[in-house]
Amino acid sequence: MIHAVAVAATLAGPALSWNTDVHQQIAYAADELLNPWTKQIIKQLLEPSAEGSLGRVGAWADGYRKTPEGAYTNTWHYIDPADEPPSFCNVHFNRDCTKGGCIVSALTNQTEIVKGCISRAKLGKIRNGEDYTCANAVKFLAHFTADIAQPLHVSGIAAGGNGFPVTFNGTATNLHSVWDGAIIYAKAGVTSFNNATIQPFFKNAVKRLRSDDFITSTADMLACSDPGTPHKCAMEWARDTNEWTCDYVYSQIFNGTDLATSGYAKGAGYIVEVQTAKAALRMATYFNRLVEGNYRQRDVYLETVPSWILGPAGGI
């Protein structure tokens, strides 16, 4: 049971995502798993300042959402299920996606944009990131494939945990922030990650992915990674992540304990470890298959029209 003050699920969605350095490290790990041809195409699509690295742009979408021109993307970073963890967990697109879009629709639509951009890049029609729509679409995909693996980006309770007060290492904070960075820092034994390049914790994650050494197999991590079915895969990723909100995130007794020392962070550390690895592997595999054309072409752009009366858009 949850022994804390629950804030109404109708609050605004998460204000945060994986911390900037965590986002970049996940994407640096994905860089390590990209095929040479994929690296070449990504370098053509991104601005020269990115130097062809997803790691350098992995956190871009968080900054963009805070600008006047990017404010419309704010709801793209999450989906708020109207479920009741830890009693039951589920995600339904037409119930839970907002009118402005959500992470599922964003992943679907940006995938379709990137498909066309890759085709043009292969023909030499895009170089040095001069097409901003294409450059941004690559950055959105790099960001959202990571965000959708963070359990509190697929949770409607207390605005994805932002309104759920907790204590971590003696500091008053909220549950979302703890999952964004504090838990993984504790697991890695750091206070933050240096983002000049991939750091040892994530370098080791890449090594473990290559040797299939996580509690979740790489085959399971990639059970859906077909760019030809982006909506289906985004929903599968969301449901996979959402299960953790019942299985662990909200299933513990808090009672004002310090999550850093109560045992909560230790158990959560294994979850964050596998979720960040999963995000890196999916990101790299997805881009590799997009560039290889290893998918059946389907043009599917989603316009969100939530129809359930209890959904974020009130059934409109």
**Domains of the chain, earliest start first:** 20-292 (1.10.575.10)
Backbone angles phi, psi at 95, to 5 degrees: -90, -40
Dihedral sign (CA 221, 100, 290, 22): negative
Residue range 205-227: average pLDDT? 97
Residue 63 has pLDDT above 80, yes or no: yes
pLDDT at residue 156 is higher than 80 = yes
CA–CA dist 249, 292 (Å, integer): 37
Q: What is the pLDDT of residue 10?
A: 33
Nearest partner of 65 among 111, 23, 93, judged by Cα: 23
Q: Exposed (0-12), middle (13-18) or buried (19+): which is 264, by Cβ within 10 Å? A: buried
**Contact criterion met (CB below 8 Å) for 112 and 300:** yes
pLDDT at 12: 39
**Per-residue pLDDT averaged across 4-27, rounded?**
65
Q: How confident is the model at residue 302 (pLDDT cuts 50, 70, 90)?
A: low
End-to-end distance of the chain based on CA atoms, in angstroms? 33
Across the chain, mean pLDDT equals 91
Number of helices (H) and strands (E), helices first, in the chain? 12, 2
pLDDT on residue 87 = 95
pLDDT of residue 306: 57
Per-residue pLDDT band at 296 (split at 50, 70, 90)? confident
Those residues whose C-beta lies under 8 Å from the C-beta of residue 227, and which sit 6 or more positions away, are: 111, 115, 286, 289, 290, 294, 295
Other C-beta atoms lying within 10 Å of the C-beta of residue 39: 17
Ramachandran angles phi, psi of 80, nearest 5°: -105, 95
Residue 98 has pLDDT above 60, yes or no: yes
Is the pLDDT confidence value at 13 over 90?
no
Confidence band of 17 (pLDDT split at 50, 70, 90) = confident
Q: Tokens 């209890």 belong to which residue?
A: 310
pLDDT at res. 272: 98
Which has more pLDDT, 315 or 109?
A: 109
Could you read off the pLDDT of 136-153 as tens digits, one per residue? 999 999 999 999 999 999
Query: What's the mean pLDDT in 168-182?
Result: 97
Instruction: Return the higher-pLDDT residue of 316 and 212.
Output: 212
The pTM assigned to this predicted structure is 0.91
Of 226, 177, 208, give the one whose Cα is nearest residue 280.
Answer: 208
Instruction: Evaluate if residue 301 carries a pLDDT over 90.
Output: no
Nearest to 312 by CA among 68, 83, 86: 83
Could you tell me the pLDDT band of residue 255, with boundaries at 50, 70 and 90?
Answer: confident
pLDDT band with cut points at 50, 70 and 90 for residue 241? very high
